[in-house]
Chain A
Amino acid sequence: MASVIDTRDLTKKYKQSTALDNVNLSIEEDSIYGLLGRNGAGKTTLMSILTAQNFATSGDVEIFGEHPYENSRVLNRMCFVRESQKYPEDSNAQHALASARLFFPRWDQPLAEDLIDDFRLPLKTPIKKLSRGQQSAIGVIIGLASRAEITFFDEPYLGFDAVARQTFYDRLISDYAECPRTIILSSHLIDEVADLIENVIVIDRGRIIMDESTDEARNRAVNIAGDAEQVQRLVAGREVVHRETLGRVTSATVLGRLSETDRAFIAEADLDLTPVSLQQLIVRTTQGADESQHADTDIRSLQS
């Protein structure tokens, strides 16, 4: 598969902090990526630089093989509506959508109209009087109906209720099936998007700490619980990303696949083996990265 986005040693430094730290990514065409990470991890900064709305301190970006800055050939094929998008003074949703129709070459008007109904978006109310969820709906409609070859969604569901979120996920999947393209969905509702995304990129303190397919990521770790001594024997020498002990019972999240011998041992020692959800894995790893800087434990970062 061809890559549509490539970054090399992308770094963004602000006066006080480093927002991106040597980011190397290659994003394939026609795939859904989850860009996951905590608030302030660098998700929005990364997307801003990829769309030339912001500038890197050093490193390279290539979108469709070209640099995106002031390059309408490339920008034309991308869509990035940010989480707290600003709209022109006194404009309403109809103005915003009509503008989007002017500039996105693959804009799908019937789809936009369906989405307006789905999200019950009032078209004539000034945007600043809309609720948070309705404002988010404008961004979601522009993102979906633009059908841009690379579409970024930056926490698109803020203010959405559960129904609206599900509508977004359903619409995203069905439209993606009809019109495959590269979608980069930044989110911290990891469990909700876990079934949606084919690839997962986790960013923490400006560094990419995970970049692989969602299936691979899911198989990377298991959770083992039971008698502390037995658990310790099993996990010795493995990478433990999280460990909790309560009395004589220990629960440990370990990386790597289990062998037949391991499984036999688990059965014999009466340990509990549970799969680790994507959310748990990411929470444990990002926590691990924090703790390993302070405490002397056997917690290590997932960076491979």
Chain B
Amino acid sequence: MTTTAQSFDIQTPARPRSRTLGVVRFQFMNTQTFVWMPVLVLGGVWLITLLIYWIISASGVEGPMYSGGSQAPLWYFAVVGAQAMNRTFYFSQAMSLTRREFYLGSLVAAGISAVGISVVFMFLGLVEQATDGYGINGYFAYLPWVWVGGPLAAGLTYFVLTMLTFILGFWFAIVLKRFGVLILTTALLVIALALLGGAALISLNTAWPQVWTWFADMQSMGLTLWALGACVVFAAGSYLTLRRLTV
């Protein structure tokens, strides 16, 4: 066999002093999940959006064009969360890691990846701002409502939302593994019903105008802070679920 004799000078020099930091390197060992897929999703959606803008502007439409395409990588992070959990957790147990080490390390790894993607988002936004939407008035990342507080605030919003979807994906994967598909589906239905109940309550009280005003008053920074709070709560919830997960 020729494939076996390949050099095995693995790219891992010294052993990490903290096992939690080891988990970060462990999550990045296979760069596909945390590096190349997010890059591919963001780059792909960006390209498609620009092509659409170009087609539209070529047909003579003048007004500024905005799209929700830049949120695609956010949703991909829910998948990343589920993947980081799924099989990797079982292997981390074989590596004699505690659940806490695995959890914190995975969260840090997601954080690094989310910072990377938020920086790209900020960069694209700044380019769009400087070039008036690539010269055709088309905006992918520079959405005025998000950018009210400047580039850093926009980057933070993007980062927090990325982490939020990651944590939710992670948590759902844990619930699935621990309680099975029946309980997960039930939980999702209960959440949907609760949201629907909330919406019904608002409608019955004809309170939608107040709700929209609240959102508008919050501005993106306020909503980012709310999302950050949700991140903390969901992160704690998923850790508590993971603590008693068996192999």
Cβ of B30 and Cβ of A75 under 8 Å apart? no
What are the 4 A-B residue pairs with the smallest beta carbon separation, nearest first? Answer: A86-B90, A53-B247, A75-B96, A122-B3
- Partner of B5 from A48, A99, A102, A117 at Cβ < 8 Å: A117
Chain B: which residue is nearest A103 at the CB level? B95
Segment at the interface with B among A76-84, A209-217, A259-267:
A76-84
Segment at the interface with A among B7-15, B42-50, B190-198:
B7-15
Flag whether A124 is at the interface (Cβ < 8 A): yes
Q: Taking the nearest CB of chain A, how far is it from the CB of B206, in angstroms?
A: 49
Q: Which residues between 85 and 99 of chain A lie within 8 Å of chain B, taking CB atoms?
A: 85-91, 94-99
Cβ of A89 and Cβ of B86 under 8 Å apart? yes
Flag whether B4 is at the interface (Cβ < 8 A): yes
Cβ of B97 and Cβ of A95 under 8 Å apart? no
Flag whether B83 is at the interface (Cβ < 8 A): yes
Cβ of A105 and Cβ of B15 under 8 Å apart? yes
Known contacts A72-B101, A109-B8, then 4 further A-B pairs from the complex at CB < 8 Å, ordered by chain A residue: A97-B10, A102-B95, A103-B26, A116-B8
Flag whether B32 is at the interface (Cβ < 8 A): yes
Counting chain B residues whose Cβ lies within 8 A of the other chain, the interface size class is 35 or more
Q: B residues engaging A (CB < 8 A)?
A: 1, 3-6, 8, 10-12, 15-16, 19, 22, 25-26, 29-30, 32-33, 83, 86-88, 90-91, 93-101, 243-244, 246-247
Cβ of B98 and Cβ of A72 under 8 Å apart? yes
Q: Using Cβ atoms and an 8 Å threshold, which residues of chain A touch B25?
A: 102
Q: Using Cβ atoms and an 8 Å threshold, which residues of chain A touch B30?
A: 88-91, 95
Cβ of A104 and Cβ of B83 under 8 Å apart? no
Cβ of B3 and Cβ of A53 under 8 Å apart? no
Q: Give CA–CA (A100, B12) in the complex, Å.
A: 11
Counting chain A residues whose Cβ lies within 8 A of the other chain, the interface size class is 35 or more
Cβ of B90 and Cβ of A102 under 8 Å apart? no
Cβ of B99 and Cβ of A70 under 8 Å apart? yes
Flag whether A148 is at the interface (Cβ < 8 A): yes
Flag whether A174 is at the interface (Cβ < 8 A): no
Q: Using Cβ atoms and an 8 Å threshold, which residues of chain B touch A96?
A: 91
Q: Give CA–CA (A122, B3) in the complex, Å.
A: 5
- Partner of B96 from A51, A90, A123 at Cβ < 8 Å: A51
Cβ of B97 and Cβ of A103 under 8 Å apart? yes
Flag whether A208 is at the interface (Cβ < 8 A): no
Cβ of B87 and Cβ of A88 under 8 Å apart? yes
Q: Give CA–CA (A179, B30) in the complex, Å.
A: 32
- Partner of B87 from A82, A87, A125 at Cβ < 8 Å: A87
- Partner of B10 from A54, A82, A98 at Cβ < 8 Å: A98
Secondary structure type dominating chain B contacts: helix
Cβ of A76 and Cβ of B12 under 8 Å apart? no
Cβ of A80 and Cβ of B96 under 8 Å apart? yes
Flag whether A202 is at the interface (Cβ < 8 A): no
Q: Give CA–CA (A89, B79) in the complex, Å.
A: 12
Known interface pairs A86-B91, A101-B10; A116-B4 also in contact (CB < 8 Å)? yes
Q: Give CA–CA (A78, B29) in the complex, Å.
A: 22
Flag whether A132 is at the interface (Cβ < 8 A): no
Cβ of A90 and Cβ of B91 under 8 Å apart? no
Q: Give CA–CA (A124, B30) in the complex, Å.
A: 12
Q: Using Cβ atoms and an 8 Å threshold, which residues of chain A touch B6?
A: 123-124
Q: Using Cβ atoms and an 8 Å threshold, which residues of chain B touch A79?
A: 94, 96
Q: Give CA–CA (A48, B93) in the complex, Å.
A: 10
Flag whether A64 is at the interface (Cβ < 8 A): no
Chain A: which residue is nearest B27 at the CB level? A88
Q: Using Cβ atoms and an 8 Å threshold, which residues of chain A touch B8?
A: 94, 97, 109, 112-113, 116, 123
16 contacts between A and B (CB under 8 A): A53-B93, A53-B246, A54-B246, A70-B98, A70-B100, A75-B98, A78-B96, A82-B94, A82-B247, A88-B29, A89-B30, A91-B30, A98-B29, A101-B12, A103-B26, A116-B8
Chain B: which residue is nearest A69 at the CB level? B98
- Partner of A85 from B12, B33, B91 at Cβ < 8 Å: B91
Q: Give CA–CA (A87, B88) in the complex, Å.
A: 6
- Partner of A124 from B3, B10, B101 at Cβ < 8 Å: B3
Q: Give CA–CA (A270, B30) in the complex, Å.
A: 69
Known interface pairs A81-B94, A85-B91, A142-B94; A102-B4 also in contact (CB < 8 Å)? no
Q: Which residues between 174 and 195 of chain A lie within 8 Å of chain B, taking CB atoms?
A: none
